[in-house]
Structure formats: C-alpha cells, structure tokens
C-alpha cells in the first residue's frame, strides 16, 4: 500500500507552513513518504498524481481566502474526486477555510468561518498568537493566526476533536466525504518552536506535536 503524503507548496501557502506540515507527518507513527506538490515542484497537482497518495495536505496560507482560492480553484474537481473516491484531505488554517463551501473545495458538511469574528471569541486580532481549545475534553493551548471555526449541526460520522474554549465553536474535526475523509484544524497543531520564538510566545503546554498526530491518525483510520 502506498504511504505517499502530498503537501501543497506554492502561492496559496505561506512560507514555512508546508515545511511544518511535512515535519508533522514525518514525525507521526504512520511511516509517510512526504513529498511536496505544486506549480514549482517536481510533482504537480493532477488527478493522476493525487491517486498515488494516501493523503493530500493543504497547509496554512496568507490572509486572503479570495486570493488563495484563485490559485487553487482550477484544482477543485481533481481534489473533490480524489477525496470522494477514498482519499484523505488534511487542511490546516487556510487549508481548513479552503475545505469549506465559500471559495473552497466544498468538502465539509457545512462551511468554515472566522473564529475571531465569532461571538465570545477571546482572540479578535489576525496577529499571530495563541488560542485555548478543549481537545477531546482537555484544555490545551495552540498557535493561532486567524484560523477558521467549522460550522456543524449534527452530521453522521463526524468526529469533533476540538472546540474553542471560549465559545465551544468547532476548532478541529474529521468528517466523511464520499468514500474518503476530511480532517481540518483552525489552529496550527504543526507549529514548530521557531514560530513561537519569532512572535515571543510561550506555550504553557510545551511545544508538542501530539494534537497534530491525533488529527492525522484519526483522519487516516
């Protein structure tokens, strides 16, 4: 069975985000062969390329969903077909927005929206900071940069991994799409120590990858 994981790297991703996502996958227990895919990479996004992978990762991007989707819109059909036929999609921050319905791949049961504009949000700035979440019922702190929440009523087969602590909006979930699965996270479970140092942030939980590994493991089940 293929263990190839494809991580998008290109204009719809923010520098450093694809590399952090690659590190998250490489440090999991699932033995991924992680390769970048994108317009300037050896591997290009196509139906043929996607079929060779067990998971496709859309990492964090800039601050404009409109711009990110302009770069990615032409790949919508291939990505939807790949996941619908049994593939896995992992979207982090901008990748979570892009899994939504408004300027996105329409992979989620409902849409993604800004957490910072939601009722009772404790983070109301797009600046890099930290946010508190309840991950499987345990309070944790995560690196955050204007990430999405995920609208969700009741849907069969959806696993809610985390909710924002201040208002219980969904922060991370895994959901079915056709014969495949979609995993998304608003905060950054892959954030390395260098991101915290750059923005003078201290995570009281320590810099740990366990939440990201849980997300990946749940997605790949």
Q: Report the alpha-carbon distance of residue 196 to residue 191 in Å, rounded.
A: 8
Q: Half-sphere exposure (CA, 13 Å, Cβ side) for 129?
A: 11
Q: Report the alpha-carbon distance of residue 193 to residue 202 in Å, rounded.
A: 9
pLDDT in tens, 119-172: 999 999 999 999 999 999 999 999 999 999 999 987 779 999 999 999 999 999
Tokens of 34: 């992680």
What pLDDT shows up at residue 156? 78
* Confidence band of 114 (pLDDT split at 50, 70, 90): very high
Q: Report the alpha-carbon distance of residue 93 to residue 55 in Å, rounded.
A: 17
Tokens of 31: 């033995």
* Ramachandran sector of residue 68 (left: φ over 0; alpha: ψ -120 to 50; beta: rest): alpha
State the sign of the Cα–Cα–Cα–Cα dihedral 147, 43, 174, 151. positive
Indicate the domain borders of the chain.
4-220
Tokens of 162: 């985390």
pLDDT in tens, 13-26: 999 999 999 999 99
Q: Residue 78 in contact with residue 85, Cβ under 8 Å?
A: no
Is residue 1 over pLDDT 60? no
Residue 197 CA, chain-centre distance (Å), reads 22
* Confidence band of 103 (pLDDT split at 50, 70, 90): very high
Q: How open is the CA angle 32-34-36, to the nearest 5 degrees? A: 160
CATH architecture of 4-220: 3-Layer(aba) Sandwich (3.40)
């Amino acid at each position: 069975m293929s263990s190839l994981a494809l991580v998008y790297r290109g204009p719809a991703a923010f520098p450093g985000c694809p590399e952090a996502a690659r590190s998250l996958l490489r440090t999991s227990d699932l033995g991924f062969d992680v390769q970048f895919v994108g317009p300037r990479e050896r591997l290009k996004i196509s139906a043929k390329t996607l079929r060779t992978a067990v998971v496709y990762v859309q990492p964090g991007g800039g601050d404009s969903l409109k711009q990110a989707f302009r770069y990615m819109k032409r790949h919508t059909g291939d990505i939807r077909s790949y996941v619908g036929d049994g593939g896995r999609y992992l979207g982090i921050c901008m990748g979570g927005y892009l899994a939504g319905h408004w300027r996105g791949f329409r992979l989620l049961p409902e849409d993604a929206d800004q957490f910072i504009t939601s009722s009772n949000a404790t983070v109301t700035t797009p600046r890099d900071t930290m946010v508190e979440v309840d991950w499987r019922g345990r309070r944790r702190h995560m690196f955050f940069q204007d990430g999405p929440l995920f609208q969700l009523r009741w849907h069969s087969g959806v696993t809610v991994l985390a909710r924002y602590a201040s208002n219980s909006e969904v922060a991370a979930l895994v959901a079915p799409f056709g014969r495949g699965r979609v995993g998304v996270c608003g905060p950054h479970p892959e954030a390395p120590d260098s991101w915290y140092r750059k923005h003078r942030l201290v995570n009281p939980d320590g810099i740990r990858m366990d939440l990201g590994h849980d997300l990946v493991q749940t997605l790949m089940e």
